[in-house]
Amino acid sequence: FNRANDGEMFFDHMKFCMGIILFHAYTHVMVPVLTFPYEVKLLAKEHFNQWYSLKPYYLALTLSRVPSLVIFSLLFLVIVYTMSGLPHDLDRFAVFCAVGIITSLIAEGMGLAIGSVFNVTNGCAVGPMTLAPFLGFAIYGFDFARTIPLWLWPMLKASFMR
pLDDT, one tens digit per residue, over 102-130 is 999 999 999 999 998 999 999 999 999 99
pLDDT exceeds 90 at position 71: yes
In this predicted structure, what is the pLDDT of residue 7? 67
pLDDT exceeds 80 at position 145: no
pLDDT exceeds 70 at position 96: yes
Compute the radius of gyration of the chain from its Cα atoms: 19
Distance CA 14, CA 20 (A): 10
pLDDT exceeds 80 at position 4: no
Residue 53 is classified by DSSP as -
In this predicted structure, what is the pLDDT of residue 144? 72
- pLDDT category at 11 given cuts 50, 70, 90 is confident
Q: For residue 92, what are the CA distances in angstroms to 18, 36, 81, 99, 100?
A: 16, 35, 10, 11, 12
Distance CA 116, CA 91 (A): 37
CB atoms within 10 A of CB 107: 27
C-alpha torsion 142→18→103→23, nearest 10: 150
The mean pLDDT value of the chain amounts to 86
pLDDT exceeds 70 at position 57: yes
Distance CA 139, CA 154 (A): 14
Q: Are 111 and 27 in contact (CB under 8 A)?
A: no
In this predicted structure, what is the pLDDT of residue 33? 94
**How many Cα neighbours within 13 Å face the side chain of 68?**
8
Distance CA 44, CA 53 (A): 10
